[in-house]
């Protein structure tokens, strides 16, 4: 995840109350359970491979792991490969694109970035600031939830076509102009079809998780924000807070600029952000489970 935008401001009594979740939620008992423990295993697995810095062996190993994992559950998995030029370096990057159902017809997009920041530039210890971050929360958490969602969607197919996209190169550069490479590339080259809307998951593993409403998301896709938060409220998932959070520079902004409504599920209140302390012990299966359960339920209420 990237830099903070406008400072937080307090809620204008979000219009969420009064939203009624879809009646089909009554059928939820028939839906498969999102397993936060399995998501936590997927988080730890990524961190164990090492920092997922483009241009490294661990990056390639992780790419292959993601293709293999999603390949178990999805109808199709493709790599969307591209190269960025940074100074005199050519850096190969790869978005991982997994589809469920006929995703050539305006699929719903779920996305996260899988790369990790090459340098811990927010670390309190200056000696650590050129060290890559472990990226347990900032990188692995969103991917872990999407891998577990893929398992769920394989058990009961979603009522709408779904495309899961794992973006590369989100956290690459020193400035935002040199970040978000995967989402920028995907927004220009949506595959297998242009998504009808997108839900981005970033930094969703914090053991002390509280996801506020992100203002850019609310502006770009108010109905999606209301639907997701109403689902959480209906399920009694308290990790989704109706307060307004800060505007965040993240992959959803690139999608929105390309005309794809997108929301960002992110808890930016995370002290280890962009430090070497962004490790699995700061994350929890409960937090991953809370986010994954809500997104799963929301997707199953679509269509019809």
Nearer to Zn ion, 138 or 267 (CB): 138
Q: Assess contact for 229 and 240: CB atoms under 8 A.
A: yes
Nearer to Zn ion, 1 or 149 (CB): 1
Nearest residue (CB) to Zn ion, 123 versus 138: 138
Q: Single out the segment in contact with Zn ion by CB under 5 A; choices: 81-89, 159-167, 168-176, 205-213.
A: 168-176
119 vs 186, beta carbon nearer Zn ion: 119
Q: Which is nearer to Zn ion, 118 or 289 (CB)?
A: 118
Nearer to Zn ion, 141 or 293 (CB): 141
| Choices 60-68, 134-142, 155-163, 206-214 (CB under 5 A): range interacting with Zn ion | 134-142
Nearest partner of 41 among 73, 1, 69, judged by Cα: 69
Site for Zn ion contains 1 (CB under 5 A): yes
Structure tokens at 224: 């999606």
Write out the chain in H/E/C secondary structure. Answer: CCCECCCCCCCCCCCCCCCCCCHHHHHHHHCCCCCHHHHHHHHHHHHHHCCCCCCCHHHHHHHHHHHHHHHHHCCEEEEEEEEEEECCEEEEEEEEEEEECCCCCCCEEEEEECCCCCCCCCCCCHHHCCCCCCCHHHHHHHHHHHHHHHHHHHHCCCCCCEEEEEECCCCCCCCHHHCCHHHHHHHHCCCCCCCCEEEEEECCCECCCCEEECHHHHHHCHHHHHHHHHHHHHHCCCCEEEEECCCECCHHHHHHHCCCCEEEEECCCCCCCCCCCCCHHHECHHHHHHHHHHHHHHHHCCCC
Site for Zn ion in 136-155 (CB under 5 A): 138
Using the contact rule CB under 5 A, the part of the chain among 131-139, 157-165, 248-256, 280-288 near Zn ion is 131-139
Q: Which stretch binds Zn ion (CB under 5 A): 25-33, 65-73, 163-171, 256-264?
A: 163-171
Two tokens, residue 238: 């308290």
Q: How far is the CB of 43 from Zn ion (least distance, A)?
A: 15
115, 171, 206, 278: which one binds Zn ion (CB under 5 A): 171
Q: Are 140 and 171 in contact (CB under 8 A)?
A: no
Kindly state the smallest distance separating residue 139's Cβ from Zn ion, in Å: 7
Please tell me whether residue 267 binds Zn ion under the rule CB under 5 A.
no
Q: Looking at beta carbons only, is 138 or 214 nearer to Zn ion? A: 138
Residues that bind Zn ion (rule: CB under 5 A) add up to a total of: 3
Q: To the nearest 10°, report the CA torsion of 100, 223, 297, 42.
A: 60
Least CB distance to Zn ion at residue 276 (A): 13
Which range touches Zn ion (CB under 5 A), out of 84-92, 170-178, 184-192, 281-289? 170-178
Binding part of the chain for Zn ion, among 22-30, 165-173, 278-286, 289-297 by CB under 5 A, reads 165-173
Instruction: Please say which residue, 38 or 247, places its beta carbon nearer to Zn ion.
Output: 247
Q: How far is the CB of 117 from Zn ion (least distance, A)?
A: 5
**CB of residue 16 vs Zn ion: minimum separation in angstroms?**
28
**Positions that interact with Zn ion (CB under 5 A):** 1, 138, 171
């Amino acid at each position: 995840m990237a830099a903070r935008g406008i400072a937080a401001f307090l809620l204008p009594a979000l219009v969420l109350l009064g939203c009624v979740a879809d009646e089909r939620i009554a059928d939820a008992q028939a839906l498969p359970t999102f397993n936060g423990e399995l998501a936590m295993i997927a988080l730890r697995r990524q961190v164990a491979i090492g920092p997922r810095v483009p241009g490294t062996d661990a990056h390639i190993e992780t790419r292959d792991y993601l293709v293999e994992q999603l390949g178990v559950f999805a109808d199709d998995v493709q790599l969307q490969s591209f190269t960025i030029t940074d100074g005199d370096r050519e850096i190969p990057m790869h978005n991982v694109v997994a589809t469920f159902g006929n995703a050539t017809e305006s699929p719903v997009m779920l996305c996260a970035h899988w790369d990790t920041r090459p340098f811990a530039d927010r670390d309190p210890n200056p000696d650590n600031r050129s060290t890559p971050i472990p990226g347990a929360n900032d990188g692995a958490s969103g991917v872990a939830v999407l891998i577990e969602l893929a398992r769920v969607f394989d058990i009961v197919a979603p009522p709408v076509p779904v495309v899961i996209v794992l973006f590369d190169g989100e956290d690459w550069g020193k400035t935002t102009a040199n970040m978000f490479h995967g989402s920028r590339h995907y927004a220009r080259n949506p595959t297998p079809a242009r998504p009808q809307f997108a839900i981005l998951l970033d930094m969703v593993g914090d053991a002390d998780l509280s996801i506020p409403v992100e203002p850019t998301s609310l502006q770009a896709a108010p109905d999606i924000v209301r639907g997701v938060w109403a689902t959480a409220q209906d399920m009694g998932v308290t990790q989704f807070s109706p307060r307004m959070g800060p505007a965040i520079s993240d992959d959803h902004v690139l999608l929105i600029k390309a005309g794809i409504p997108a929301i960002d599920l992110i808890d930016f209140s995370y002290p280890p952000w962009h430090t070497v302390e962004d490790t699995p012990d700061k994350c929890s299966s409960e937090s991953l489970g809370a986010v994954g359960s809500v997104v799963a339920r929301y997707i199953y209420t679509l269509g019809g």
